[in-house]
Structure 1
Amino acid sequence: MAHRLLARRVWTLPVKDIRCLPTFSAAIASSSSSLSTTVRSTASRVSFLSASRTLPRTFQYTARREVSFNIQDTEDFTERVINSQLPVLIDFHAQWCGPCKILGPRLEKAVAKQKGRVTMAKVDIDDHTDLAIEYGVSAVPTVIAMRGGDVVDQFVGIKDDDELDSFVSKVIGQ
């Protein structure tokens, strides 16, 4: 019974604990000679997962900055859009809007090309009707560009990639 519990515990160890396993299995084998051969073979089977054969010690991680964020409420909009030091593109969209689903990723790609010189806020008009009314959004998708809390440009509908790139470049002042 005890060897079953030990075997289950060995097989369900998290990856971080497996790196310590060779010393753990050596301690089991040396301190307890009364363990059955199945437990020893289980420990030896798991020992092939030693630190030299498991995942690399350091992972390649590239910090990726998100180019867009969802607006939660009016206070969030004021804090992250109106008071922003960077120019902000506001994508007024809806979940049921087909053109919005096409424009959103293309607009994010155009913003990502600018490498942090502009950000993008997403406003769902069904959740934030007051913001849509305040900025005169009558159709979706509508994109409004703001710099320093002031509206500098806007468009309604879908644009191709070149037009989106030029729109974003114009907003940041290039």
Structure 2
Amino acid sequence: MVQMAQRLLLKRFLSLPGRCLTSQVQSFSSLSVKCAQTHVPHFTTLPFSRSTKFTTAARQFSTSSSHRVTFSVQNKDDFQERVIESEIPVVVDFHAQWCGPCKILAPRLEKAVAKHQGKVLMAKVDIDDNTDLALEYEVSAVPTVLAMKNGCVVDQFVGVKDDDQVEAFLNKLIGPQTT
């Protein structure tokens, strides 16, 4: 139970935008101190910078925003800031943890978005955590994927697509990739 809480805390902490990271350092550090006082294993805190790495026994995580083209939307304000106001086109994946097709589509989308090397971003919106966003964008089934450019929905699809269809969807949004 404690390990699960630590993983959730780390996941939420790492999903924060880079500029918000420094404001969250004190709350994370105070939690580590509380964990130490109650004899609960905690993460090692290191000096913080924009590309700080957190080390656990098994993994290293980097919070460098320059390498993050996929991110999880935390709430409506986060969606406004990172998707609507984005100068870069954004693919928005409305999904749910319990959705089998979502688990099939997500890796395909992430792979295709990463291939475009920052020309497009991917926002992941869990409909159970962000019901208001799902209603606002009339999401009636998951997975629903929106293509957004300059704050407007320019294309969308519902359901699982194969790699070629996902690539064609992205190419329509940003143009063909030149390699």
- Which TM-score bucket, shorter chain as reference? 0.5 to 0.7
**What is aligned with 2:127?**
125
Please report how far the alpha carbon of residue 127 of structure 1 lies from its aligned counterpart in structure 2 after TM superposition. Answer: 0.4
What secondary structure, in the 3-state scheme, does the structure 2 residue paired with 1:136 have? Answer: coil
**What is aligned with 1:114?**
116
**What is aligned with 2:81?**
79
C-alpha deviations, 1:119-174, integer Å up to 9, x for none? 00000000000000000100000000100001000000000000101101111133
C-alpha deviations, 1:69-120, integer Å up to 9, x for none? 0001110000000000000000000000000001001100010111110000
Identity over aligned pairs, percent: 67
Residue type of the alignment partner of 1:116? G
4+ runs deviating over 6 angstroms:
none
- Of 75, 89, 92, 1:90 maps to 92
CA distance in 2, matches of 1:80, 1:66: 12
Residue type of the alignment partner of 1:65? H
RMSD: 1.5
CA distance in 1, matches of 2:69, 2:88: 12
Please report how far the alpha carbon of residue 65 of structure 1 lies from its aligned counterpart in structure 2 after TM superposition. Answer: 1.1
Alignment of 1:1-174 (within 5 A): 65-174=67-176
**What is aligned with 1:46?**
none
**What is aligned with 1:26?**
none
CA distance in 1, matches of 2:121, 2:145: 13
CA distance in 1, matches of 2:76, 2:68: 21
**What is aligned with 1:7?**
none
CA distance in 1, matches of 2:138, 2:146: 10
CA distance in 1, matches of 2:111, 2:156: 18
C-alpha deviations, 1:18-76, integer Å up to 9, x for none? xxxxxxxxxxxxxxxxxxxxxxxxxxxxxxxxxxxxxxxxxxxxx87122100011100
What secondary structure, in the 3-state scheme, does the structure 1 residue paired with 2:119 have? Answer: coil
CA distance in 2, matches of 1:128, 1:78: 13
Higher relative contact order (CA 8 A, sep 6+): 1
Q: TM-score, normalised by structure 2?
A: 0.61
Residue type of the alignment partner of 2:101? P
What secondary structure, in the 3-state scheme, does the structure 1 residue paired with 2:67 have? Answer: coil
Residue type of the alignment partner of 2:163? D
5+ residue gaps, structure 1, are 1-62
